[in-house]
Chains A and B, each alone.
Chain A
Amino acid sequence: MPDYTLRLRRYDPESGEAPHYEDFQVELDGHRSVLEAILQVRGDQDGSIGVRCSCRAAICGSCGVRTNGKAGLACHTHLEDAAKRSKDGENVIVVEPMGNMPVIKDLIVDMEEVHWKKIRRVTPWLVAKEPVPEREYIVPHEAMVDITQTMACIQCGACVSDCLTMEMDPLFVGPAALAKAYRFVGDPRDAEQEQRLSDLAEDPHGMYDCTHCFQCIEACPKGVAPMSQIMRLRRRAGSDFHIDDRNNGHRHEMAFVKNIRKNGLLHEADLLPDSYGGKFHPRAVPELLSSLPVVLRALKTGKVTVKKALLHEHKASPEIKRIFDTVENREVRIEYNLYISGNEDDLADDPSDVGGEAPAATATVTETVVVEEQIVETETEAVVVEETVIEETVVEETPAPVAEAETDVDAPADSEPTEGDNQ
């Protein structure tokens, strides 16, 4: 059995000691989880290790940590996979608390201080349309399928931990909360979609503060792809509600699209002023003046010539314009969502896929979810309905639960129930 070195980041504010790393040796198969290793160490070697966990099956979302630099669920990370990312030598696994949140003790972070505050910031409940129907709301399947991906979130905070914008701008609403916002913006039963979008578009730390770094997509153990949800928020805000935000978000998007339609290739010299609303827009003047040194540097180094800046040598072919016109004039935007519809090869190859079409199966599942939500939400207003109840335990000197009793606890529950025997 391989021997792993678990290098834990220890911090106990009550001890007065500075944070430090401590090595523990564990002997476990590579397919066992990092959480099992931590619990084994806590049980056998040092009962004071602080770690938060509950289900050990990637459902409750409690055991978010960073292993060798990447955030995720400790129970959902195999030791051998974590070890591959080691920069500190063979079979060394550095386990640290998640980033972007204050540390309470060892591997336990203060989720309330950052994550939950931001979740509450986006009004995480359905605002009912008036008048409230006497019986259930009737909603189209497709609309609910569209938001299933965000519903898969288990609030573990891994995306928040690794968000690169939040690293520089702690006020950023962040990937988890924005994904949660789309859960309601995409729900046809919600009465305040436009207000939600306008709020998050106008917030200088809102939907346009995301830098497309894909960290949240990479970190999420449930395939929620928060960044894709943020892009959906932008698409809704800009194209459906024409919200002209003060952060230049929508203007930048439209300036870019116009630029490519006209030139085929990006003409940067036009993009900047257009992103601020045009060369002579009052908002553009101070911005352009502040960018002047940059432009001058570009001219000085010969990166750009005056002629090249004024006249773009590329002009889009009529074919490009035709594609823009065809696609943009559709009454309904066509979107292919891989999370929902999958890859046809995978579907064909997967023998466990009973009776065929995954999209239909997903739709069935969604319907169940909807019904449950309606019941909860009509009875108790303003409650976050899909959250798993999480037990928080700062364990000190308590014997660990016996790890041997578990069989294959690191095997995650699939994000989708398999009982979808379609229609």
Chain B
Amino acid sequence: MKVAYWPGCVSRGFTPELHGSMQAVAPLLDLELIEIDRGSCCGAGVIAEHNQELADTLNARTFALAAETPGELMMNICSTCQGAQSECQERLDASAEYRAEINTTLEAEGLAYEKGLVTNKNFLWLLVEEIGLENLTKKVKRPLTGLKVGPFYGCYIVRPTDRLGINDENPRDTYMEKVIEALGGEVIDYAGVHKCCGFPIITMNKKASLQMAGTHLADATDADADCLVVPCPLCHLNLDLQQPMAAGEIGRDLSMPVLHLPQLVGLALGLEPKELGLQRHVIKPTSVIDWTTAVVGSADGASSGW
């Protein structure tokens, strides 16, 4: 399947292992990634807060560029991109008059956004709705047997439910649990699954921001999770990069590995931790590596390549 691939900014900036692991996993899922290389930042809600029309125009441009690729749909790997882009698309699709206004600005570049021009799905949604869980299970080479994984969605991919198309038919706010199970892992339920990582207020209210991250990490620890998995690199920044600070803020030792979704999929599909950039994490995913070594050791005797 060919997809117009939107990696976002952070996956190529402070969490390069996310973009890298997605590229490593794609061929194993028969996904051909056609990168939307001229696209711009989705605005992460901040540009919309500054000027709504500006955010809508920038994203309409990205959608128009995606439509120019031979991809069947557009795929992102960031909850924040999904949420911010869905918000813009909802407005763009609502009014022909408003679209015409936006298209006047895009015209000079020969681009235009038409209603429903692209379907934009996060990798998580694509896994369940396009690839399918049964199909995914068939591709598993190293089932995540015994690995206890806590899902952490990120706000932008679970709320508001109507804008994001979360309903009985597509219960997208339960997909992470389904994917973890399809890969053979054990789902850990804890209080923070659908809560906020705190990243958006890190420069404005560091204390509250780090308390959010720390609390969810501690809750997952208490629920006996081996690791968390996130479909959002911004959540990863607060939960992994800032974890030592978050631990200080809540006054408790924390050592909870946080995996990007493509990394978890990659492990189950047989890739080695190093190919997935797990060494780039601040919190060493020792529990996950130990588990990989144990499984690989018993399965085919190969080394984990660590």
Judge whether B43 and A260 touch: CB under 8 Å.
Answer: yes
A160 to chain B, nearest CB (A): 16
Judge whether B161 and A257 touch: CB under 8 Å.
Answer: no
Residues in B whose Cβ lies below 8 Å from that of A204: 205
Judge whether B196 and A302 touch: CB under 8 Å.
Answer: no
Residues in A whose Cβ lies below 8 Å from that of B279: 301-302
Judge whether A256 and B47 touch: CB under 8 Å.
Answer: yes
The B-contacting residues of A in range 206-257, CB under 8 angstroms, are 208-215, 217-218, 231, 234-235, 238-239, 247-249, 252-254, 256-257
A301 to chain B, nearest CB (A): 5
A333 nearest CB neighbor, chain B only: B51
Question: A341 and B95 in contact (CB under 8 A), knowing A319-B109, A324-B54?
Answer: yes
- Pick the residue among A168, A319, A327 that contacts B215 (CB under 8 A): A168
Majority-rule SS of B interface residues: helix
Name the segment of B11-19, B135-143, B219-227, B261-269 touching the other chain.
Answer: B11-19
Residues in B whose Cβ lies below 8 Å from that of A205: 205
Residues in A whose Cβ lies below 8 Å from that of B215: 168
Judge whether A253 and B49 touch: CB under 8 Å.
Answer: yes
Residues in A whose Cβ lies below 8 Å from that of B211: 168-169
Q: How far is the CA of A84 from the CA of B49 in the complex (A)?
A: 34
Q: Is A164 located at the chain interface by the 8 A CB criterion?
A: yes
B14 to chain A, nearest CB (A): 5
B48 nearest CB neighbor, chain A only: A231
A338 nearest CB neighbor, chain B only: B94
Q: Is B242 located at the chain interface by the 8 A CB criterion?
A: yes
- Pick the residue among A168, A253, A268, A298 that contacts B46 (CB under 8 A): A253
Residues in B whose Cβ lies below 8 Å from that of A248: 203-204
Residues in B whose Cβ lies below 8 Å from that of A355: none
Q: How far is the CA of A72 from the CA of B195 in the complex (A)?
A: 18
Q: How far is the CA of A58 from the CA of B166 in the complex (A)?
A: 24
Q: How far is the CA of A294 from the CA of B241 in the complex (A)?
A: 7
The B-contacting residues of A in range 291-311, CB under 8 angstroms, are 293-294, 297-298, 301-304, 308
Judge whether A252 and B203 touch: CB under 8 Å.
Answer: yes
Residues in B whose Cβ lies below 8 Å from that of A326: 105
B211 nearest CB neighbor, chain A only: A168
Judge whether A303 and B244 touch: CB under 8 Å.
Answer: no
Q: Is A44 located at the chain interface by the 8 A CB criterion?
A: no
- Pick the residue among B13, B57, B95, B242 that contacts A266 (CB under 8 A): B13
Judge whether B101 and A334 touch: CB under 8 Å.
Answer: yes
Residues in A whose Cβ lies below 8 Å from that of B189: 87
Judge whether B208 and A209 touch: CB under 8 Å.
Answer: yes
Q: Is A317 located at the chain interface by the 8 A CB criterion?
A: yes
Question: A218 and B161 in contact (CB under 8 A), knowing A231-B49, A248-B203, A323-B57?
Answer: yes
Q: Is B52 located at the chain interface by the 8 A CB criterion?
A: yes
Can you list, as one digit per residue, whether each of B228-254 has a CB less than 8 Å from chain A (1) or not (0)? 000000000000011011000000000
Query: Size of chain B's interface in residues, with CB distance under 8 A?
Result: 69
Q: How far is the CA of A172 from the CA of B61 in the complex (A)?
A: 36
Q: Is A320 located at the chain interface by the 8 A CB criterion?
A: yes
Can you list, as one digit per residue, whether each of B35-75 has a CB less than 8 Å from chain A (1) or not (0)? 00010110111111111111011100100000000000000
Residues in A whose Cβ lies below 8 Å from that of B155: 164, 211-215
B83 to chain A, nearest CB (A): 8
A253 to chain B, nearest CB (A): 5
Judge whether B53 and A334 touch: CB under 8 Å.
Answer: yes
Judge whether A239 and B58 touch: CB under 8 Å.
Answer: no
B244 to chain A, nearest CB (A): 7
Q: Is A316 located at the chain interface by the 8 A CB criterion?
A: yes
B95 nearest CB neighbor, chain A only: A344
Can you list, as one digit per residue, whether each of B94-106 has a CB less than 8 Å from chain A (1) or not (0)? 1110100100011
Q: Is A343 located at the chain interface by the 8 A CB criterion?
A: yes
B111 nearest CB neighbor, chain A only: A319
Q: How far is the CA of A408 from the CA of B77 in the complex (A)?
A: 44
Judge whether B161 and A327 touch: CB under 8 Å.
Answer: no
Q: How far is the CA of A235 from the CA of B52 in the complex (A)?
A: 9
Judge whether B281 and A301 touch: CB under 8 Å.
Answer: yes
Residues in A whose Cβ lies below 8 Å from that of B14: 268, 298, 303-304
A249 nearest CB neighbor, chain B only: B204
- Pick the residue among A217, A334, A336 that contacts B160 (CB under 8 A): A217
Q: Is B21 located at the chain interface by the 8 A CB criterion?
A: no
Q: How far is the CA of A260 from the CA of B245 in the complex (A)?
A: 28
Judge whether B105 and A327 touch: CB under 8 Å.
Answer: yes
Q: Is B90 located at the chain interface by the 8 A CB criterion?
A: yes
Q: Is B30 located at the chain interface by the 8 A CB criterion?
A: no
A147 to chain B, nearest CB (A): 17
Judge whether A301 and B196 touch: CB under 8 Å.
Answer: no
A89 to chain B, nearest CB (A): 14
- Pick the residue among A209, A231, A239, A324 that contacts B204 (CB under 8 A): A209
The A-contacting residues of B in range 203-221, CB under 8 angstroms, are 203-205, 207-209, 211-212, 215
Judge whether B200 and A211 touch: CB under 8 Å.
Answer: yes
Q: Is A56 located at the chain interface by the 8 A CB criterion?
A: no
Judge whether A209 and B91 touch: CB under 8 Å.
Answer: no
Q: Is B299 located at the chain interface by the 8 A CB criterion?
A: no
Question: A297 and B57 in contact (CB under 8 A), knowing A316-B40, A322-B108?
Answer: no
Residues in A whose Cβ lies below 8 Å from that of B156: 212, 214
Judge whether A294 and B242 touch: CB under 8 Å.
Answer: yes
Q: Is B300 located at the chain interface by the 8 A CB criterion?
A: no
A304 nearest CB neighbor, chain B only: B14
B284 nearest CB neighbor, chain A only: A301
Residues in A whose Cβ lies below 8 Å from that of B204: 208-209, 247-249, 252
- Pick the residue among B53, B160, B245 that contacts A294 (CB under 8 A): B245
- 24 A-B pairs whose Cβ atoms sit less than 8 Å apart in the complex: A87-B189, A165-B196, A169-B211, A172-B208, A208-B205, A209-B205, A211-B155, A212-B155, A212-B156, A213-B196, A214-B156, A235-B49, A257-B51, A266-B41, A268-B13, A293-B244, A317-B38, A319-B38, A323-B106, A330-B53, A334-B53, A336-B53, A336-B94, A342-B94
Give the interface of A toward B (CB within 8 A). 84, 87, 164-165, 167-169, 172, 204-205, 208-215, 217-218, 231, 234-235, 238-239, 247-249, 252-254, 256-257, 260, 264-268, 272, 275-276, 293-294, 297-298, 301-304, 308, 314, 316-317, 319-320, 322-324, 326-328, 330, 333-336, 338, 341-344
Give the interface of B toward A (CB within 8 A). 9-10, 12-17, 38, 40-41, 43-54, 56-58, 61, 83, 90-91, 93-96, 98, 101, 105-106, 108-109, 155-156, 159-161, 168, 189, 195-196, 198, 200-201, 203-205, 207-209, 211-212, 215, 241-242, 244-245, 279-282
What 9 A-B pairs come out closest when comparing CB atoms?
A214-B159, A266-B9, A213-B196, A169-B208, A343-B94, A213-B155, A265-B9, A168-B208, A168-B211
